[in-house]
Amino acid sequence: MKLTDKLAQLQALFAEMERALIAYSGGIDSTLVAKIAYDVLGDRALAITADSASLLPEDLEDAQIQAAEIGITHEIVKTHELDNPHYAANPVNRCYFCKSELHDTLKPIALERGYPYVVDGVNADDLLDYRPGIQAAKERGARSPLAEVGVTKLEVRELAKQLGLPWWDKPAQPCLSSRFPYGEAITVAKLQRVGRAERYLRQLGYRNLRVRSDGETARIELPPEQIKAFVQTSNLPALVAAFQDYGFTYVTLDLEGYRSGKLNQALLTATAPSA
């Protein structure tokens, strides 16, 4: 199906909804959904961002700036997923408890204000990955227009570019809790030190990156093609000192490089049949 046809389907979908509340993280997926919803529904579309310890302050600021440029009404609500011990323990289905908290917060708002639908930015590619949060959203009646129409991640960026969104190539930025291997308990202090470490690297000019937290060790992931220059040009003693000041004991560099969803590799390994 042509991308223009998919856009037309998305527009028709929102026209049928008449009113919609968008679970708006500020990532490119939910930003595209907010843009199309606003273009179709105007002030009958509302974007709400959940603010919690697992969201970088810079990402919240980006969400506000982007919503203002789109023109959509934007609100911020607090969520408290870390208060749930099932989430804080960081099991393999941690995202289920995160999205449960999110949609248990958004659904009452939608009902109270007369929005028949809560929609999110899940795309067609997300359905191919391990995403337990999708189940939690579905259980609470949320809809995923991009996935319903079959829009892939690449098509999300193409559509965003066509619609004039300057953030069409914005790197993916999942919540900070995704930086921890399953089974390692998550705390506010741990989230903050990861967030500060990633902010440090972004200030050096790196965009696509992760700082994975493994116990007391920070593992830096960068695109493979950037690793050599990073080692050669960075002030490594200053970087290590900064990371240790944030609370890490050790700082390492992942030689494989950044790859989205890397922590799910452990799940695949655990479930693979033995030879």
pLDDT at residue 146 in the model = 98
Interatomic CA distance for residues 37 and 138, integer angstroms:
20
Interatomic CA distance for residues 269 and 260, integer angstroms:
16
Q: Model confidence over 47-92: pLDDT tens digits? A: 999 999 999 888 999 999 999 999 999 999 999 999 999 999 999 9
Interatomic CA distance for residues 95 and 168, integer angstroms:
25
Interatomic CA distance for residues 99 and 97, integer angstroms:
6
3-state secondary structure 1-24: CCHHHHHHHHHHHHHHHCCEEEEC
Interatomic CA distance for residues 21 and 232, integer angstroms:
48
% the chain with pLDDT above 90: 90
Q: Model confidence over 219-247: pLDDT tens digits? A: 999 999 999 999 999 999 999 999 999 99
Q: Model confidence over 168-179: pLDDT tens digits? A: 999 888 899 999
Interatomic CA distance for residues 171 and 72, integer angstroms:
22
pLDDT at residue 259 in the model = 81
| Range 3-162 classified under CATH 3.40.50.620 | yes
Q: Parse the chain into domains and list their residue ranges.
A: 3-162, 176-266
Interatomic CA distance for residues 272 and 275, integer angstroms:
9
Topology of the domain covering 176-266: GMP Synthetase; Chain A, domain 3 (3.30.300)
